[in-house]
Amino acid sequence: MLGRKKIEWVSNYMPLLNYIQETYKGVFDGVKIAMGIHLEAKTAYLAITLKKLGAKVFVTGCNPLSTQDDVAEALEEFGIIVHAKRTNDEGVYFKNLNKILDYEPDLILDDGADLSVIVHTKRKELLKNLKGISEETTTGVRRLKNLEENKLLSVPAIAVNNAKMKHLFDNRYGTGQSTWDSIMRNTNILIAGKNIVVAGYGWCGRGIALRAKALGANVIITEVDPIKALEALMDGYRVMKMSEAAKIADIIVTSTGMKDVVKFEDILAMKDGIILANAGHFNVEIPVKEIEKHADKIFDARNNVKGYVINGKKVFVIGEGRLVNLAAADGHPIEIMDISFALQTLSLIYLKENYEKLENKVYDYPESLDIKVASLKLKSLGIDIDKLSEEQKEYLKGF
Amino acid sequence: MLGRKKIEWVSNYMPLLNYIQETYKGVFDGVKIAMGIHLEAKTAYLAITLKKLGAKVFVTGCNPLSTQDDVAEALEEFGIIVHAKRTNDEGVYFKNLNKILDYEPDLILDDGADLSVIVHTKRKELLKNLKGISEETTTGVRRLKNLEENKLLSVPAIAVNNAKMKHLFDNRYGTGQSTWDSIMRNTNILIAGKNIVVAGYGWCGRGIALRAKALGANVIITEVDPIKALEALMDGYRVMKMSEAAKIADIIVTSTGMKDVVKFEDILAMKDGIILANAGHFNVEIPVKEIEKHADKIFDARNNVKGYVINGKKVFVIGEGRLVNLAAADGHPIEIMDISFALQTLSLIYLKENYEKLENKVYDYPESLDIKVASLKLKSLGIDIDKLSEEQKEYLKGF
Amino acid sequence: MLGRKKIEWVSNYMPLLNYIQETYKGVFDGVKIAMGIHLEAKTAYLAITLKKLGAKVFVTGCNPLSTQDDVAEALEEFGIIVHAKRTNDEGVYFKNLNKILDYEPDLILDDGADLSVIVHTKRKELLKNLKGISEETTTGVRRLKNLEENKLLSVPAIAVNNAKMKHLFDNRYGTGQSTWDSIMRNTNILIAGKNIVVAGYGWCGRGIALRAKALGANVIITEVDPIKALEALMDGYRVMKMSEAAKIADIIVTSTGMKDVVKFEDILAMKDGIILANAGHFNVEIPVKEIEKHADKIFDARNNVKGYVINGKKVFVIGEGRLVNLAAADGHPIEIMDISFALQTLSLIYLKENYEKLENKVYDYPESLDIKVASLKLKSLGIDIDKLSEEQKEYLKGF
Amino acid sequence: MLGRKKIEWVSNYMPLLNYIQETYKGVFDGVKIAMGIHLEAKTAYLAITLKKLGAKVFVTGCNPLSTQDDVAEALEEFGIIVHAKRTNDEGVYFKNLNKILDYEPDLILDDGADLSVIVHTKRKELLKNLKGISEETTTGVRRLKNLEENKLLSVPAIAVNNAKMKHLFDNRYGTGQSTWDSIMRNTNILIAGKNIVVAGYGWCGRGIALRAKALGANVIITEVDPIKALEALMDGYRVMKMSEAAKIADIIVTSTGMKDVVKFEDILAMKDGIILANAGHFNVEIPVKEIEKHADKIFDARNNVKGYVINGKKVFVIGEGRLVNLAAADGHPIEIMDISFALQTLSLIYLKENYEKLENKVYDYPESLDIKVASLKLKSLGIDIDKLSEEQKEYLKGF
């Protein structure tokens, strides 16, 4: 019942999915869709939407810790097949992924590309029936592109992450808000006046940095890209190497998509009581395993916060170094996911209708669909904008 | 055990109380202190601190919904007498206040002045033993001053709220962060792009507005004070009457200390899905009772969020209109309360040592103690600041 | 003609003075008013306003470099007596002050209190006719209070600076904008990404810091007051001693009202190309004389910017270390001065009508006039705000 | 002498050009370079740099009003041939462009593409000797691409504007600061609390909006692109059609690259005293000619500000509707242009060395040069950033 209530709540703030449910009825009749998602109320409402459009829907997680079990339960009441459980056991996690794939999906809606990579490596027999993949994240797109470069990609894939309405919104406004929502609720510490280190100044990183600054923090950026480093500097942040930043940090948030962004030797240089959180897709950015190995004491410090004593100093890690807004909170704000999921749904419709014409490569998100989602969102907000006149369009062509 | 863990957690981020525990041992030997507080981990650590300084400590709540029962339980293990329970029943709430008073305290540490007002109105026999009151909030100070103006105040009282280190920090940085922490965790909705109305541009209101703006909202202020209204305008906000603002609001947060700030007729003009929250001390700012009376349907929309259907439109109220950061989250950030409680403790020491010399009036917070707390905080952060030279001090005297 | 055009321009954006000209006609009939002001278009329009209200007006400067000669000339065409000239010669400056005083004013409108101090020290014979003083600045109020403490003050004085509509607006929004307007126009350097040190976190300093941060700078605050230092920290700035800040600064702006805020030894530690500016009333905050004494080379680097070579490094000082927004630009924005001058005019009317009842002390600005000016400003903007109902006023009295 | 002093001043804050002067000596020996630029101190220093690298340099303006005559004069003393004059006469302007072209340049450094378009349309005989074009602006790149699409482009062109170090910095931080520098110095009005309409939310527009908000304004965005409109909304701005925004605006700044962004009928709906400024390349965004035609009175309101009376209301236009930061101030901050000009110089070297291998098309800026400039800038600031380890690079290739 609690899961169902959560789903009802989000349906209040998802005007685009509600619109799509009305407008595209029957579009997926007979289509089998496998979803690998952070299973909570918003993704549940996406699954329900796909079902209402006619699809047979099979749902699993895309991260061991991000499944909310009450929501998973509620979803089954809607006639959706679910294999997902919040767990620390990666074996269980992958077993569930495989169970979903057993249904031989026509389309995969992926988040991080775990389903897609399994299909292309360990379970190639499933490629026969598969028509296309729609992938949500930066990390997943990178993995699919690597498959493509290695000539392994066997179906067309759409990089939903590359939609402007995705990476400009989800990664920036979504991650920005939800990362701090999670850190604040899990620690109750003051952000104002703190030295906060954000590793990575991509779209996620700048969202995280912007909100940290807005909450009164003194933000320090680490980067490997000199252009992004300069942008950070001119946005008013300090820019340093991690080995320097670690010494003065009160909180470190990683958001790079890269492994070992914080090194164990950085941990040793940190202040007593340092708080570490990761906002990147995989739990490889903070060296949690090494911390565990070297800790003199490990204890539950608070819900979702683990404490370690190393060389007499306390180190706190939120959500086990998994992406902090999902592993230790409710993920992105509802309206952000409404936009992303409208993109996803239109992407799946596009794949279903065009897969025969498409090559086996990673496609950028179709621009016309991107603009369509933006226009729908503006309409749902009652906002009217200017349009170019014919004369103005003509002017654009001049030289 | 959970309550104790929570208290341990906050002790990591309360350097001032830790310092005071060491420095003022024995100062309250034999002194009975009654505390009316939002009973959660941070106030618990204040109670423990007073106990460690030698006091007999008696604790009750200062708001029916803000007591965390697991913390109350843990506190008793420290040898502190507690009468407090999270409840919707105001009768239970006031019964607990009276139980604490039965111990005939020497000093009252109050938050909202409920204990102090009871002593001065219904239980005047207790005034005999009482030496002084230390009051935390704007609202409580106002009530004590009204007692004074009516010539009813019978002990010296210190307006801790008037300390610079209190109202400049607690009300601004504390309320600013914790109000949004609470609204975000309880709704999971996006703040960016929303029309957010903040009623009242006092220290609390401007903290709330600043953080809302920082999270990307479009903020509208309502005020009754023309000077504050102009400040809001020049800080980049729109300023309107509530009756106008209500029509376009997505979220309304009240923070005025005044009753009926939102009127029921304003509710009728609101958009479907409006979210209402109160950050003022008492639950009088939003007309919850009238909403309940006129609702066609009432339902639990989410933890801490109640839904009402009025004229076919949904209205959501967080934490029953009680102060949202405490009734539906963890209250102010730890470090903020560490400062406020350092002020409180020094205030109680001051009352204990000087009550015979003091008149029965509401005193501003002693400036020297205010500066002392600031200096201790800077020291705990390792920050060194400039000092005036003798020559410079001399310059200040010139004309 | 240029001066007259400047005055016409400002009259477009001074709704309050325009309103007062209409409403209080004749109020100063026969009254002699001496004004010591930064003589530029806005103060000129104040002088014209006083004249239109019936006064005989005598104008001089209040800072040797802040007089704009074309405006001074234009003012004489309006029948106002002016003794003021942009000059580096302090002798000429003080001679002009004395000339104005020769007219035996009834009221003094002062800015920095030079006129008032002369009357109370070197020209006491003028006290006989003098009825009151209205003083604009923090510095001037401090000097008058020191006169009062030394029992030398011989007329009632009103601290216009203490009006909320003055120090909350002029010092914060006015100084904030105009300081950066001046620095940007005089240097053309980029603010974003720079290390900018602001000395002093009073109302002026926080305006300067806020705008610097907003322009993308990394701002460092120096302070002597621990409470203000903590506010700066929680507002997201770094806080240091000047001796540390000087080493990494790209620009230093002083705004303390104190002498020798930057020491010559700090200059020696600075980076090549450092830019120094002062936003405090007197030119005592930056050690210009010592810099001149020790410079190996002095040169005009740009209009209003002097270059010095010390130990092979370049040091640039804007506007000779005098308050940078007036000595090297056009002073506060017009609308800010419209508010301040409305306060000044009402203050002079108040003094004229009540001087016989007043004591010889420095009075805070009358609250009712403060609110009146705020209300007039809101009205001129077409903004309507809420009003307390009788029931709500009653609620405020409760306990 | 004044012009020379200006050039010396900017040389203090152009570390990249200084570095390039040292490092690439002789690279342009014998090469003839025609420059169409906003001729002021910074572009002058670029011309000097090219000359020091061995080139014969010919300079003209790229906008009739943006030439500073004293700088033009000074430049000739450096042995550079200059045909440029601040003028309202477009005939004179184009005559000067043609004079420069008479020298039969090998390379064109263009800003807005006037030189390039003339060569490709009216003076095709010059194409014989021309090896390449390096173009600075969005507008110029659009014009060159239109030439390319019409199969008219006859030499390789490099879109310097497309360099990340250009459009992410120049358009955002440069235009943002310099637009407000210009508006503030030319009007002296308060920005805080004003309704400011920014037309266009491209890189320039968002820089302008960001700084306006930072100065305390209430910013409204107009857009034709629904995605950008939503970004603006989530960045906290209001989004409207121009016809609505015009009614409540205090200041309107256009920055779209499109003509007729403000329509004459919008002018009629505006408030008395409205201020209009354009930050786009061409003076086509504000309908200055129509305003002139319909004005009952035209007058010089202030330096660079023209006043018009239409239907009894005053309308003020800064810098005749030409790009306000150059026509009425000193253009972008020095350090921004240092970056852009380092890009330009490396682009010209690249064209000189590779033109034979290149096709006659508009090339994006070479990524390696982009990163090189970023790295040089970081080095000049003394900032060290992280580098990917071999292991990390390997990780990026995985799937």
pLDDT tens digits, A258-286: 999 999 999 999 999 999 999 998 889 99
Look up the pTM and report it: 0.93
Q: How much is the mean pLDDT over chain C?
A: 95
Is the pLDDT at B22 greater than 70? The verdict is yes
Residues A152 and A18 in one domain: yes
Name the band, by pLDDT with cuts 50, 70 and 90, for residue B356.
very high
For chain B positions 49-108, those within 8 Å of chain A (CB to CB) are: none
Residue of A227, A239, A374 with shortest CB distance to D370: A227
In the chain, the amino acid numbered A170 is: D
At B379, give phi and psi (nearest 5°): -60, -45
Is residue A325 within 8 A of residue A175, CB to CB? The reply is yes
More confident residue, B176 or B64: B176
List the subunits that have 3+ CB pairs under 8 angstroms with C.
A, B, D
**Which of A299, A328, A357 represents a domain boundary (last residue)?**
A328
Residues of A in contact with C230 (CB under 8 A): 193
For residue C395, list its beta bridge partners.
Answer: none
Is the same domain home to B11 and B145? yes
What is the reported pLDDT for A281? 82
Return the CA Rg of chain C.
22
Q: Which residues of D are annotated as a binding site?
A: 137-139, 202-207, 223, 279-281, 325, 332
Q: Are residues D181 and D288 in the same domain?
A: yes
Number of domains in chain A: 2
| Selected residue of C42, C180, C185, C188 to mutate for chain D interface (largest D Cβ count, 10 A) | C188
DSSP letter at B172 equals I
pLDDT value at position B360?
97
The per-residue pLDDT for D281 is 82
| Predicted local confidence at residue C2, as pLDDT | 86
- Residue D343 in any domain: the answer is yes
C357-374 mean pLDDT = 97
For residue C352, what pLDDT is reported? Answer: 97
Confidence of residue A1 (pLDDT cuts 50, 70, 90): low
Q: Would you say residue A398 has pLDDT above 80?
A: no
What CATH number does the domain containing A120 carry?
3.40.50.1480
Is the torsion defined by CA of D259, D262, D263, D264 positive or negative?
negative
Q: Name the average pLDDT for chain A.
A: 95
Would the CB atoms of A165 and D230 count as touching at under 8 Å?
yes
Q: Is the pLDDT of residue B282 over 90?
A: no
Q: How many CA atoms lie within 13 A of C1 on its CB side?
A: 3
Check whether C265 is labelled as a binding-site residue.
no
| pLDDT for residue A233 is more than 70 | yes
- In three state form, how does the secondary structure of chain D look? CHHHHHHHHHHCCCHHHHHHHHHCCCCCCCCEEEEEECCCHHHHHHHHHHHHCCCEEEEEECCCCCCCHHHHHHHHHCCCEEECCCCCCHHHHHHHHHHHHCCCCCEEEECCCHHHHHHHHCCHHHHHCCCEEEECCHHHHHHHHHHHHCCCCCCCEEEHHHCHHHHCCHHHHHHHHHHHHHHHHHHCCCCCCCEEEEECCCHHHHHHHHHHHHCCCEEEEECCCHHHHHHHHHCCCEECCHHHHHHHCCEEEECCCCCCCCCHHHHHHCCCCEEEEECCCCCCCCCHHHHHHHCCEEEEEECCEEEEEECCEEEEEEHHHCEHHHHCCCCCCHHHHHHHHHHHHHHHHHHHHHCCCCCCCEEECCHHHHHHHHHHHHHHHCCCCCCCCHHHHHHHHCC
The residue that leads in pLDDT, A44 or B396, is A44
pLDDT score recorded for residue D1: 58
**Average pLDDT for C177-206:** 97
Residue B99 distance to chain A (closest CA, Å):
31
> Is B280 among the domain residues?
yes
Q: Which of residues 277-306 of C touch B (CB under 8 A)?
A: 284
Measured distance CA(D285)–CA(C366) in Å, rounded: 49
pLDDT value of position D163:
96
Q: Taking 80 as the threshold, does the pLDDT of residue C399 lie above it?
A: no
- Inform me whether the C-beta atom of residue B192 falls under 8 Å from chain D C-beta atoms: yes
Q: Which pLDDT score, from 0 to 100, does residue B66 have?
A: 82
Q: Look up residue D163 and give its two tokens.
A: 């360099």
Which of D7, D10, D175, D190 to substitute to test the interface with C, most C CBs within 10 Å?
D190
Q: Which residues of D touch A230 (CB under 8 A)?
A: 165, 169, 374, 377-378
Position B3 pLDDT exceeds 80:
yes
CB D399 within 8 A of CB A146: yes
For B337-350, what is the mean pLDDT? 98
Is the CB of B386 inside 8 Å of chain C's CB atoms? yes
Token output for C58? 């005598």
- Asked if B371's CB is within 8 angstroms of C229's CB, the reply is no
Model confidence band, residue B230 (pLDDT cutoffs 50, 70, 90): very high
Residue D315 included in any domain: yes
Residue range B20-37: mean pLDDT, rounded: 96
In chain B, residues with a C-beta closer than 8 Å to the C-beta of D233 are 193
**Domain range spanning residue D187?**
167-328
CA–CA distances in Å: residue D277 to residues D179, D262, D266, D274, D286: 9, 11, 14, 10, 8
pLDDT, residue B307, reads 97
Helix (H) or strand (E) holding A378: helix A367-380
Test the B interface: residue of D234, D235, D240, D248 with most B CBs within 10 Å: D234
pLDDT for C397 equals 80
Residue C193 and residue A217: Cβ atoms within 8 Å?
A: no
Whether A120 and A194 map to the same domain: the answer is no
How close, in Å, is residue B159 to chain A by CA atoms?
24
A334–B9: do the CB atoms touch at under 8 Å? no
Instruction: Return the partners of chain B (3 or more C-beta pairs < 8 Å).
Output: A, C, D
Q: Is the same domain home to A172 and A239?
A: yes
Residue B253 and residue B274 in contact, taking contact as beta carbons nearer than 8 Å: no
Q: Does one domain contain both B365 and B352?
A: yes
B158 lies in the same domain as B243? no
The CA distances from residue B116 to A160, B61, B109, B153, B154, in Å, are: 60, 13, 9, 9, 10
Residue D365 shares a structural domain with residue D376: yes
CB nearest A333 (choices: B13, B181, B189): B189
Q: If you average pLDDT over residues B118-139, what whole number do you get?
A: 95
Q: Is C398 among the domain residues?
A: no
- Whether the CB of C227 is below 8 Å from some CB of chain A: the reply is no
Report the residue of chain B nearest A208, measured CA to CA.
Answer: B215
Q: Are residues C179 and C246 in the same domain?
A: yes
Question: Are C241 and B378 in contact (CB < 8 Å)?
Answer: no
- Tell me if D56 is assigned to some domain: yes
Tell me: pLDDT of A234 over 70. yes
pLDDT score for B347: 98
A195 touches chain C (CB under 8 A): no
Return the CATH number at C294.
Answer: 3.40.50.720
User: What's the confidence (pLDDT) of residue C88?
Assistant: 83
DSSP state of A323: B
Chain A CB contacts of D173 under 8 Å are 234
- Whether the predicted pLDDT of B382 surpasses 80: yes
Residue A214, phi then psi, degrees to nearest 5: -65, -30
Contact D399 A222 (CB under 8 A): no
B30 is in an annotated binding site: no
C202 and C229 part of one domain:
yes
Question: Does some domain include residue A390?
Answer: no
Partner residue opposite D399 with nearest CB, options A117, A398, A399: A117
| Average pLDDT score over residue span C196-211 | 96
pLDDT at position C1: 58
* Interchain proximity D143–A398, CB inside 8 Å: yes
Tell me the per-residue pLDDT of B161-185, one tens digit each, with 9 for 90 and over: 999 999 899 989 999 999 999 999 9
> pLDDT at position B1, please?
58
Whether C219 shows a pLDDT value over 80: the answer reads: yes
Q: Is ipTM > 0.85 here?
A: yes
Structure tokens that stand for B364 in this block: 């501003």
D335 in contact with C, Cβ within 8 Å: yes
- CA-based max dimension of chain A: 73
Mean pLDDT of the residues in chain B: 95
Q: Is A219 left (phi over 0), alpha (psi -120 to 50) or beta?
A: beta
Question: Is C202 labelled a binding residue?
Answer: yes
Look at D192 and B236 and tell me if their CB atoms are within 8 Å: yes
The string of pLDDT tens digits covering residues A158-200 is: 999 999 999 899 989 999 999 999 999 999 999 999 999 999 9
Q: Are residues D264 and D358 part of one domain?
A: no
Residue C66 has pLDDT above 90, yes or no: no
**Residue B27 burial by Cβ neighbours in a 10 Å radius (0-12, 13-18, 19+):** middle
**D302 within domain boundaries:** yes
CB contact under 8 A, B385 and C239: yes
What's the average model confidence in pLDDT over B317-338?
94
Residue numbers in chain D where pLDDT is lower than 50:
none
Please list every residue in chain A whose beta carbon sits closer than 8 Å to the beta carbon of residue D384: 240-241
Residue D366 included in any domain: yes
Please tell me which of the candidates A173, A300, A314 has its beta carbon nearest to residue B190. A173
Residue B138 labeled ligand binder: yes
Same domain as C173, residue C304: yes
